[in-house]
Structure 1
Amino acid sequence: MKRNTLFKSHNTNEFNEIALDIFRFQAIHNVVYNTFLKHLKVDINSIQKIEDIPFLPIQFFKTHKIVASEDAVEQIFLSSGTTGMTQSKHYVTDVSIYEESFTKTFQYFYGAIENYTILALLPSYLERTGSSLIYMADSFIKKSNNPKSGFYLNNLEELAKNLQELDKKGEKILLIGVSFALLDLLDKYKFDLKNTIIMETGGMKGKRKELIREELHSILCNGFGVSKIHSEYGMTELLSQGYSKGDGVFECPPWMKILTRDTEDALTILPEGKSGGINVIDLANINSCSFIATQDLGKTFKNNTFEVLGRFDNSDIRGCNLLVL
């Protein structure tokens, strides 16, 4: 598979062809995925459409090294979690693919990163190692070429001051933050922002009571003085992200697709509009596994859009964008 074919605006047929090519490659070269398929007694050559591809349960990233490349590992991304919890590990053999994916995804939805000041309020991620979100945010900060771009940890006063000054100047700003930290900021300051995108990246990390999305976004809209709250859907095990520009409806870049599976029969794909487990096809995961069955619940709509509704019961809450119902 040539890398330059991954990050294009594929139509449905082109996407499906590339996904099937990657499936056949990974079914042979990814030892864990190959073993998984053998246990399911899957004939690789019989898979002729993406809906028939078996998706690897995301829990395997906690117990196995998921790779489809013989190249040396350049980066290991680790999931967040409470003390004692087993972390997912994503072994990345070519981190430049991740960089290309998140850069082109941001450009696809928001335009050039260089046009933004990036303010990152990600304390729970910044205080640990191996976060793919921190890696992405750090790249955004460096590419923004704005001296006010940066990470904020305990310096909320400085963040509030910079945010208000930059917004008043009419500069384009992206404030990306974990939910509890954005609420902590609003406990101390109130804003009336005109030129700022507020983007939340996930739940409370045990710092606050979990809120349903509508309640959280209502609080954030009122506190920041904005009409919509944006969201990012990404996770350690993926190299691509979906984005929502409001109302909890996410859109994928052309190299990522969401399917939903029957919660009682994991190999059955549901039609659009039906709630089920979220399966992700991420073409950027070419060197690990591009077909991941997550522990998220959601539904898909037309135009490669989807909604996240919750999590399966008894699954640990991690760093993917999810508000538990």
Structure 2
Amino acid sequence: MSKHTDILDEYHALEARVFVSLHDFLEEEFDALALDIHAFQRRQNAPFARWCDTLPEPKTWREVPAVPQAMFKRFRLSCFPAKLTPVTFLTSGTTGETRGEHHFADTALYESSILAGWQRLRLPRLPAVFLAQPPDEVPDSSLTHMFGVLAGRATGRAVFDMRAGAGALRKLAARGPCAVFGTALAFLALFERMGTERVRLPRGSFAFETGGYKGSGRDIAKAELYAKFLTHLGLRADSVWNEYGMTELSSQAYTRGLGRPHTAPPWLRALVVNPETGMEVPPDSSGVLRLFDIANVGSVLAIQTADLAVRRADGFELLGRDPAAVPRGCSRRADEILRDVKRTILSSVPDLRTLATAPHTITAPTSATQIPVPVRPAMRTGLPALRPDTAARARALAKAAATFPSLGKVTARALLALVASELGHAAALDRFVPQGRRHTRAVAPHRILHVLSGNTPAAALQTILRGLLLGSENFCKLPSAGIPEVDTFVSRLPRALAERVHLSRELPQAWLDAADAAVLFGRDETIATLRAALPPGIPILAHGHKISFAIVFDDPKFRSVNGAARDGSIFDQQGCLSPHAIFVRENDALTAGAYARMLARAMARFEKHTPRGALTISEANGIRTLREETAFRAANGEPLELLASPDTAWTVIVDRTAQILPSPGNRVIFVKPLARDFSAMLAPHGAHLSTCGIAPVNAANRDFAAAHGFSRICAIGKMQQPPPDWHHDGQPVLAPLVRWVDCEA
């Protein structure tokens, strides 16, 4: 017990100093107090201490290592053994998700920090309704505990009723000014329950909202939510307060209305840092939020959040949760279309049904050179049909594609072979061709809608090329940044083909309504939304989220590492063909660690002659967060090894765990042993498997990859160069789009 007594004595001594700071804060004492708290945590918080042993000793509070927020889900980040922490708050999460834990020896300091921070707002004590369960019903909720602390001590008479409606609010308002507390989701549910009912809260009333929409499938803009406060409760935005906090903290920051920064009490410091450098950004610049809370005496002082923010003179402007964890692959950047479809945004691109009225010039509004495409007067069905000459189209397309390395070698013969392999005859689109005792002909769709992704140009170029090979008119929804390679490709087409390509960064409703077929790139949710918006029964080729891997079966001389570096670096690993992980079959001459170290050298060489593109804050933070989490886990004995450039240019992680983590992209590759339970490891990704690069290439290795569900198998080094006639995502690329006419006479 003496050891536990010593820990508690030291904790209470630090706690007493923080208590003083809550009410009589002295700026000059913050640095010393923060460093003393850090020293205590380094001695008593074992997982944190092991990580700190790999880092320099901090000299100021700004240098205290900030624990990645996700580590609260993996480790018990407490200075006390379990029997000394009777209170544990859990982070929110969806069913089956691991939840983070924040342990407390007692809640005296926690509650004092809440009340001291609230008192700084100088809000009146008003009767209140809390749209939440009573605290004793959810003792592991830090937010509900906070509401319980505020109820009565910071408000007047308080009621907890998570199902309160217009009647309860009207009764509360009848007594005068009042307050309503709840999460953003709780308020949204309240407004939906109220329907068309309106309750005008008396002047002097206010609302207090916090939290987000995690796990609910709901998400609306803050301005839209605040407009509902005015509509349903008569509260203007300036009468709505927002709290920024988290289970892992003991203190909170606040803002009021729209367009104002969050301000924190002086014992909670916020830095907005550049994820590339880890340094604070200049004023009015964006970065990732890092918090230092001296009320967190019993856990960790500094937390690296996953929230993006702008540094302001008097606080930080919250931009929201880092979206870096969305699925990668050909779906990336196509998903902005989801917003367009849901809102049925119409653009200025000409309606297909108006093309018959007069000559037009359709100008593709892209980031590259604007390409005027003359359009002749046409029938209501669109442009006139092309002359039935698939061979001529193949020659023209091969010529235009010749200068695009991402397409590989495209020849007219290969394109005609594609038609023959899928449609049974190279001339099946031109005329009736024999098929057994009958003749048959393939009829291409008049209009194909292509919803394109901008992360890799090859997929966009290939789908347009195939649409033109069919002779169809192609309406292409580009990502907001455009695809310069598409502009260039169209400019090199003969006029008869170029006028059959229409480009837009918006998605007109008319394009959806008039499509005879569609080729869609996007996340599964995006594709489902697009399917519902398209005419029923039309053929659709859907390319959703995919993931690719590579397997090194034997390579003692590491001949495949340069190809692996190329596969993981080209297009900055944004496409669905980019390997997320490389599995190595280990033997006496080859280990995953040795291969990873050689791969790291190859990645560094590739970076020298082909530097990675610029990153967004979110992308840089995804890499930095993964690196810090890997280092933290490795320091605590997990079988991980981090190999990385000084900046975020490339990252290789040796990972001997049983889990496959998706790469955040931008040249981040995991190297894992090829385990006996490989099938079980792949199982969660089974529906999304795409390409498997193998080394060496032989029948046995090919069959192994095929047996595990990959739809494309190639040599390592060729993963990013599928031929134009490949079965994209394991399906034909022409046959599903055509219809057939049979003649039995």
TM normalised by structure 2 equals 0.38
Q: 2:72 aligns with which of 55, 61, 64?
A: 61
Q: Runs of 5+ in structure 1 lacking a partner?
A: 317-324
Structure 2 SS opposite 1:176: strand
1:13 aligns with 2:21: no
1:185 aligns with 2:190: yes
Cα displacement (A) at 1:203: 1.9
Contact 1:37 1:54 in 2 (8 A): yes
Cα displacement (A) at 1:158: 4.2
> Which residue in 1 is equivalent to 2:42?
27
Structure 2 SS opposite 1:21: helix
Cα displacement (A) at 1:11: 4.6
Structure 2 SS opposite 1:177: strand
User: For residues 186 and 192 of structure 1, what CA distance do their matches in structure 2 show?
Assistant: 13
Contact 1:9 1:255 in 2 (8 A): no
> Which residue in 2 is equivalent to 1:81?
93
1:198 aligns with 2:216: no
> Which residue in 2 is equivalent to 1:268?
279
Matches within 5 A, 1:96-245: 96-111=108-123, 115-122=125-132, 128-143=138-153, 146-147=156-157, 149-166=158-175, 169=176, 171=177, 173-187=178-192, 188=194, 189-193=197-201, 194-207=203-216, 209-227=218-236, 228=238, 229-245=240-256
Going from structure 1 to structure 2, the CA distance change for 1:48 and 1:62 (only over 3 Å counts) comes to: same
User: For residues 152 and 48 of structure 1, what CA distance do their matches in structure 2 show?
Assistant: 48
Pick 1 or 2: higher relative contact order, CA cutoff 8 A, min separation 6: 1
User: For residues 4 and 181 of structure 1, what CA distance do their matches in structure 2 show?
Assistant: 33
Cα displacement (A) at 1:231: 0.3
Number of residue pairs matched?
304
Contact 2:18 2:294 in 1 (8 A): no
For residue 51 of structure 2, what is the amino acid of its counterpart? Answer: F
Structure 2 SS opposite 1:297: strand
Structure 1 SS opposite 2:102: strand
Cα displacement (A) at 1:157: 4.2
> Which residue in 1 is equivalent to 2:263?
251
Contact 2:244 2:253 in 1 (8 A): yes
Going from structure 1 to structure 2, the CA distance change for 1:78 and 1:158 (only over 3 Å counts) comes to: farther
**Structure 1 range deviating more: 229-238 or 136-145:** 136-145
User: For residues 225 and 126 of structure 1, what CA distance do their matches in structure 2 show?
Assistant: 32
Q: 1:297 aligns with which of 286, 300, 308?
A: 308
1:313 aligns with 2:323: yes
> Which residue in 2 is equivalent to 1:322?
none
Structure 1 SS opposite 2:318: strand
Going from structure 1 to structure 2, the CA distance change for 1:126 and 1:157 (only over 3 Å counts) comes to: farther
Structure 1 SS opposite 2:266: coil
Q: Runs of 5+ in structure 2 lacking a partner?
A: 1-13, 327-617, 619-745
User: For residues 275 and 241 of structure 1, what CA distance do their matches in structure 2 show?
Assistant: 21
Structure 2 SS opposite 1:7: helix
Cα displacement (A) at 1:313: 2.5
User: For residues 73 and 215 of structure 2, what CA distance do their matches in structure 1 show?
Assistant: 21
Percent identity between matched residues is 27
Contact 1:8 1:254 in 2 (8 A): no
Cα displacement (A) at 1:314: 4.8
Q: Which has the larger radius of gyration?
A: 2
Going from structure 1 to structure 2, the CA distance change for 1:56 and 1:208 (only over 3 Å counts) comes to: closer
**Structure 1 range deviating more: 116-125 or 293-302:** 116-125
Going from structure 1 to structure 2, the CA distance change for 1:72 and 1:121 (only over 3 Å counts) comes to: same
Contact 1:8 1:255 in 2 (8 A): no
Structure 1 SS opposite 2:120: helix
